[in-house]
Amino acid sequence: MKIGVVLSLGAIAALLLPGARLRAQEQWSGSGSAASIPSAALIQPDQLNRLLHAQGAEKPMVLQVGSRIMYAEAHIPAAEYAGPASQPDGLKRLRDRVAPLHRKTPIVIYCGCCPWDRCPNIAPAYRLLHDMGFSRLSVLYLADNFGTDWVSKGFPVEQGQ
């Protein structure tokens, strides 16, 4: 019995043509990648820290969309645990939490489990909230992870829950 391998033209091109492999990876990751989030929706850690401490400023709802272990170890003060958005239960929990809110409520989501380009949680959470019509939605840009880009910079954290 012969075992054959069938490759699509796209797969062959990805293997043979310069740059085609990158395009194939982009198509595979599609809108599930953090890179799919518009740069206008990103907020830097120092910007969020200033906003959270500004007198008289409207404070956003901050939702952590990563793992419960990470949240319990350290999270942004007043952030709520929304569950890992890469999992159906996490997305349901996030949807249920924000469903009663006005669509102009300012919301900041973050994960920080791993480097930005490998985070499995941030893009699904962004897509869900965006598709629900939240117009003041921001994503905390954590290039490396929460520890490096928030905790090590001396920004405040809480523990527990």
pLDDT at res. 57: 86
Task: Assign 3-state DSSP to the chain and report helix, strand, coil percentages, each to 5.
Answer: 45, 10, 45
pLDDT digits (tens, 9 = 90+) for 108-149: 999 999 999 999 999 999 999 999 999 999 999 999 999 999
pTM, two decimals, is 0.80
147 in the same domain as 75: yes
124 in the same domain as 77: yes
Helix (H) or strand (E) run with residue 61 in it: strand 61-64
- 37 alpha-carbon distance from chain centroid: 9
- The whole domain housing 6 covers 1-30
pLDDT at 65 over 90: yes
92 in the same domain as 57: yes
